[in-house]
Amino acid sequence: MHRQAKPVRLFLLLPWVLCTLAARSPGQPASTSSAPELLNTIEALVATLSAGEPQRWEQFARERFAPEALSRRTPEQRRQLLARLHEDFGTMRLTGIRPQDDPWAADVEVRSSAGTIAGTLHVELEPAPPHRIRQFGISVDQGGDGRPKTSLPPPPDLRGAKDPQRLSSLLDPYLEKLAADDTLSGVVLVAHAGKPLFERAYGLADRERKAPNTTDTRFNVGSIGKQFTRVAIGQLLAAGKLALDDPLARHLPGYPNHDAARKITIRQLLEHRAGVVDIFDVIHAGDPPPRSNHEWFLRVAPLPLQFPPGTQKRYCNGCYVVLGEVVAALSGTTYEDYLASHVFAPAGMSAAFLAGSDPEERKARGYTRTPAGLEVASLGPGGRGCGAGGVFATGRDLLAYDNALREYRLLDRERTAWMLDGADSTGSRAGGASTVAGGAPGVNAVLASEGEWTVIVLTNHDPRAGEDLGIALARAILR
């Protein structure tokens, strides 16, 4: 919901990472601490993705990916990945390489040809010839906000740690040290096959009252709330009440900006391409805070668009407020009631609620870092949550959501694959990898799920405290 919150959208094999890497100028050599084969592969990979040619990309994948990496996506899913990336980036510019402890792994910063979108490639090669790609992931930071990556000590090797006692013996000392250093304040949950193996709380929910975080503490999950709005839209799609390319005017004929409503489509709203103003541009000092998604909508909808629909891609909280209003119009109820009855209830998210709808003592209080130390965070315009974010939830709430989505209890198979970017939907549980994150001052949460493993980190500290830890733990489990 907040300006700092960035969506994370999975395209390939690994959970997404939002990384800011040390930039290098054109022609500056990458670090020599990585194997030359890795650097050559990175250059070939970037060139192939930049070309945007499906046949060339598929040939590259078949020649340069290890069998286990190649099997994780079908040719059609790889084609969809390429189409999305080429749409976002155009010709990629490689701007920096950050080697990992493993000489066969690196994080690579890339930018769009226009310089407006940044992303990170994570590449790992087999250490033995022919040095094929064993892991590959890519993230898109649509806002390009340049948040620094958290300096975390590497987590322990968690591969195969399916016994709760063994997992706890490995993980708890590591997390306790992070909490002692004030790097971690929140809840960490690790699940296998949908069941928690590890769940612990660290730090304080309210520093002034010395109230500790517990596993029942509700944390603001920021823009992860957009997932719930997308589910609601998916349910309406499945019911035949709308189509992705419908003009907004068809479902909101009274939209205040009539000309905009005729041009904007549902798909453009979902993809941040509609040009709707951000919620941070409609709240001013002294204004009463909005009390519902509808009140947010009344402030966003009348204003001129930032650009013609479909011509740009710019992170858009306002787009999801408008989608919340579409949900209300087509369901005949409020957005808030629809979310509670059609998403939270069937998913079993028993503790989840929108900001403003529950007593303050049930929430973790957010803290932001300042030169003077940790201080109570201001979450911007205030008011109640909306279609763009502001849901409070526990770790088990997010696990319940992930389970419900992958077990087709929220959407049918077709719409579940749509939510998970074309993930495999065979069997009783949808496969594929997916990571979503949200953040703002004093708010950072991540839900990373791949195969049978799920990692959830909720914090009441600034980004990137939660998402960097969640990504590091996911890698430690899956590497």
Whether the per-residue pLDDT at 269 is higher than 90: the answer is yes
Q: Which residue has the higher pLDDT, 376 or 137?
A: 376
In this prediction, residues 430-437 reach a mean pLDDT of: 83
Tell whether the model's pLDDT for residue 164 goes beyond 70. Answer: yes
Greatest pairwise CA separation for the chain in angstroms: 65
76-132 pLDDT, tens digit per residue, is 778 877 877 776 677 888 887 877 778 888 888 887 765 556 777 888 899 999 999
Q: What is the DSSP letter of 411?
A: S
Residue 444 contacts residue 459 (beta carbons within 8 Å): yes
Whether 474 contacts 13, CB under 8 Å: no
Contact 419, 401 (CB under 8 A): no
Residue type present at position 256: P
DSSP class of residue 94 equals E
Q: What does the pLDDT average to over 2-25? A: 30
Q: What mean pLDDT do residues 320-333 have?
A: 98
H helices of 239-344, in order, are 248-251, 258-263, 266-270, 293-300, 317-331, 335-339
User: What pTM did the predictor assign?
Assistant: 0.74
- Residue 254 has a pLDDT of 95
> Are the C-beta atoms of residues 335 and 164 closer than 8 Å to each other?
no
Count CB-CB contacts under 10 A for residue 361: 10
Beta-carbon contacts of residue 426 (< 8 Å; ≥ 6 apart): none
Domains along the sequence of the chain with CATH: 36-141 (3.10.450.50), 164-225+336-478 (3.40.710.10), 226-331 (no CATH)
